[in-house]
Amino acid sequence: MIETLSYEYPASDAVDRRAHVGVVASGNCEILLEPARNGNASVVVRTSVTGFGATWNAVLARFFVRNPVAVQIEINDFGATPAVVALRLEQALEAAR
Amino acid sequence: MSALLLAESFAERGARERARALLDAQSFRELIGPFERLASPYLAAQGVVPQSDDGCVVARGTIGGKRACVVATDGRFLGGSVGEIGGAKIAGALELARRDAERGTPTRTVLALDTGGIRLQEANLGILAVTEICDAIVALRMLQPVVAVIAGRVGVYGGLSLSTALCSQIIVSEGARVGLNGPDVVETESGIEEMDSSDRPLIWRVTGGRMRFEQGFATALVADDVEAIRAAVQHAFEAPRELGPLEPQAFPDPRLDLDTFLRAMGIES
Could you read off the pLDDT tens digit of each residue along chain B, which spans 269 residues?
A: 566 667 899 999 999 999 999 999 999 999 999 999 999 999 999 999 999 999 999 999 999 999 999 999 999 999 999 999 999 999 999 999 999 999 999 999 999 999 999 999 999 999 999 999 999 999 999 999 999 999 999 999 999 999 999 999 999 999 999 999 999 999 999 999 999 999 999 999 999 999 999 888 999 999 999 999 999 999 999 987 766 666 777 788 888 788 888 888 887 76
**Between the CA of residue A19 and those of A24, A35, A58, B35, what are the distances in Å?**
16, 9, 22, 9
The bridge status of strand A19-22 relative to strand A3-10 is unpaired
- Count of other CB atoms within 10 angstroms of residue B163: 31
Between A18, A20, A78, which is nearest B49 by CB?
A78
The pLDDT value recorded for residue B36 is 96
Measured between CA atoms, the residue of chain B closest to residue A24 is B77
- Identify the H or E element spanning B149: strand B146-150
Q: Do B50 and A18 touch (CB under 8 A)?
A: no
The pLDDT value recorded for residue A74 is 98
Shortest Cα–Cα distance, A62 to chain B (Å): 25
Give how far the C-alpha of residue B95 lies from the chain's centroid of Cα atoms, to the nearest Å: 18
Tell me whether A18 touches chain B (CB under 8 Å).
yes
Contact B158, B113 (CB under 8 A): no
The pLDDT value recorded for residue B195 is 92
C-alpha closest to that of B206 among B151, B256, B248: B256
Whether the model pTM is above 0.80: yes
pLDDT tens track for A43-88: 999 999 999 999 999 999 999 999 999 999 999 999 999 999 999 9
**Which residues in chain A have Cβ-Cβ distances shorter than 8 Å to B78?**
24
Q: Do A30 and B35 touch (CB under 8 A)?
A: no
Q: What is the distance between the alpha carbons of residues B116 and B118, in angstroms, rounded to a whole number?
A: 7
What mean pLDDT do residues A10-34 have?
96
Q: Do B51 and A76 touch (CB under 8 A)?
A: yes
The pLDDT value recorded for residue B121 is 96
The pLDDT value recorded for residue A20 is 98
**Which residues in chain A have Cβ-Cβ distances shorter than 8 Å to B47?**
1-2, 48
The pLDDT value recorded for residue B132 is 98
Of chain A residues 29-88, which have a CB less than 8 A from chain B?
30, 32, 34, 46-48, 74, 76-78
- Identify the H or E element spanning A6: strand A3-10
Q: Do A25 and B77 touch (CB under 8 A)?
A: yes
Judge if ipTM > 0.85. Answer: yes
Q: Do B34 and A34 touch (CB under 8 A)?
A: no
The pLDDT value recorded for residue B180 is 94
Give how far the C-alpha of residue A92 lies from the chain's centroid of Cα atoms, to the nearest Å: 9
Q: How many helices (H) and strands (E) does chain B have?
A: 10, 7
Spell out the alpha helix ranges (H) of B103-239.
123-141, 159-166, 183-190, 200-207, 209-215, 226-238
Q: Do A2 and B44 touch (CB under 8 A)?
A: yes
The pLDDT value recorded for residue B243 is 66
